[in-house]
Amino acid sequence: MEKTKIINDDSVNILITIDENYIKPLRVLLYSLRQTNPRENMTIWLAHDHIEVAQLEKLHQFVAQLGFVLHTIKVDTSLWASAPTFKQYPPEMYFRLLCGQYLPKTLHRVIYLDPDILVINPIRPLANMPLKGQMLAASSHMGLTGISQTINHLRLGTRQVYFNSGVMLMDLDMMRQRVDMKAILSVIQQYGKELILPDQDILNYLYGDEILSLPEEIWNYDTRDNIMHYAKSFGSVDMRWVMENTVILHYCGRPKPWEKSNSINPFIMLYQHYEQLLAISGL
């Protein structure tokens, strides 16, 4: 594990957990973060298991050019040997559940972001948001993809809102006290074959009552649900509203915006615009 450097108390701390397959979209995410937060101090915490040293060195150089600080932390995946994983859900997805154990004790809160994200407005308000005594803050996708909430209630016997784990504000001090590896492994053993979105299901099952609900159209906008947001708001949440108010666009599901596809998702063009800006930036 990398030695911890002095943490800038004024910095926005971002946690990413990926394998080498997601380095390219991570670069786009970080580039969007810099473009829309030009004067912010940012510290990026990257948890991984086996990204090659050469890849990490290139990533360190890229992040330094953006003006951010990068800490890489190698996490052993052997703890998750019994946990269900899939091609699109590698073992690294579980790292966020126990991030309080491997992030430095001097770090008290962090924003977790999935790599399939664009940040299109300032993120500081999320970093400073009061958690009102809750351990986490997250959004629930209640549109066309909200069916997972009903499925989760049936599968796991839960009753609270089903939260998406792709964007979370985390109180690390509370997580160090409350999140228990034995409890997580127990859920995996009991429900392993029924877990559809494994780490997200576990998060909701064990800690759903300790999550502050955030408005999804601002903090975790599922780009598949743009028609639903437009209809539910009687036309007020249109593209202009999103560009002015939404902070985080989340490209959930398939196809991903960096993949060749015939998707009609209007937000894919915006993602490809950031890809092109990064390509011509020379970074």
Is residue 7 domain-resident? no
Whole-Å CA distances, 187 to 111, 158, 181, 195: 25, 13, 10, 9
pLDDT, one tens digit per residue, over 82-91 is 666 555 556 6
* CA angle, 240 then 241 then 243, to 5°: 65
Is residue 267 domain-resident? yes
Range of the domain at 158: 12-281
> Look-up: residue for tokens 């990926």?
18
Task: Report how many domains make up the chain.
Answer: 1
Residue 32: per-residue pLDDT: 98
Q: From the DSSP assignment, how many helices (H) and strands (E) are in the chain?
A: 12, 10
CA proximity to 218, closest of 130, 117, 139, 111: 139
Taking a C-beta distance cutoff of 8 angstroms, is the pair 71, 2 a contact?
yes
Is residue 6 domain-resident? no
For residue 173, name the pLDDT band (cuts at 50, 70, 90). Answer: very high
Report the Cα–Cα distance between both ends of the chain, in Å, rounded.
27
Is the per-residue pLDDT at 206 higher than 70?
A: yes
Of residues 253 and 176, more confidence is placed in: 176
With 0-12 / 13-18 / 19 or more C-beta atoms within 10 angstroms meaning exposed / middle / buried, residue 178 is middle
Write down the mean pLDDT value for the chain: 87
Is the per-residue pLDDT at 9 higher than 80?
A: no
For residue 185, name the pLDDT band (cuts at 50, 70, 90). Answer: confident
The mean per-residue pLDDT over the stretch 279-283 comes to 94
Is the per-residue pLDDT at 35 higher than 70?
A: yes
Residue 3: per-residue pLDDT: 41
Question: Of 8-12, 27-31, 143-147, 227-231, which gets the smallest average pLDDT?
Answer: 143-147
Residue 85: per-residue pLDDT: 58
Taking a C-beta distance cutoff of 8 angstroms, is the pair 25, 258 a contact?
yes
For residue 117, name the pLDDT band (cuts at 50, 70, 90). Answer: very high
CATH number at residue 87: 3.90.550.10
DSSP 3-state of 49? coil
Whole-Å CA distances, 148 to 49, 92, 156, 202, 257: 29, 22, 12, 13, 22
Return d(Cα 66, Cα 26) in angstroms, integer.
Answer: 13
Return d(Cα 22, Cα 244) in angstroms, integer.
Answer: 28
Residue 87: per-residue pLDDT: 53
Is the per-residue pLDDT at 279 higher than 50?
A: yes
Return d(Cα 267, Cα 90) in angstroms, integer.
Answer: 25
Is residue 73 domain-resident? yes
Is the per-residue pLDDT at 21 higher than 80?
A: yes
Is residue 257 domain-resident? yes
Is residue 99 domain-resident? yes
For residue 215, name the pLDDT band (cuts at 50, 70, 90). Answer: very high
Taking a C-beta distance cutoff of 8 angstroms, is the pair 29, 48 a contact?
no
Of residues 67 and 189, more confidence is placed in: 67
- Using the 8-state DSSP alphabet, how is residue 268 labeled? H
Of residues 41 and 253, more confidence is placed in: 41
* CA angle, 16 then 196 then 14, to 5°: 10
- Structure-token pair, residue 79: 């703890």
Type of residue found at 47: A
pLDDT, one tens digit per residue, over 190-205 is 876 777 777 888 898 8
Inter-axis angle of helices 181-191 and 198-207, nearest 10: 120
Residue 88: per-residue pLDDT: 52
Residues contacting 280, CB < 8 A, separation 6+: none
Which is it for strands 69-74 and 42-48: parallel, antiparallel or unpaired? Answer: parallel
Is the per-residue pLDDT at 2 higher than 60?
A: no
Whole-Å CA distances, 135 to 62, 139, 171, 172, 175: 32, 14, 5, 8, 7
Is residue 3 domain-resident? no
Of residues 149 and 240, more confidence is placed in: 240
The mean per-residue pLDDT over the stretch 94-109 comes to 92
Is the per-residue pLDDT at 266 higher than 90?
A: no
DSSP 3-state of 133? coil
pLDDT, one tens digit per residue, over 223-239 is 988 888 888 889 899 99
The mean per-residue pLDDT over the stretch 40-68 comes to 96
Residue 91: per-residue pLDDT: 67
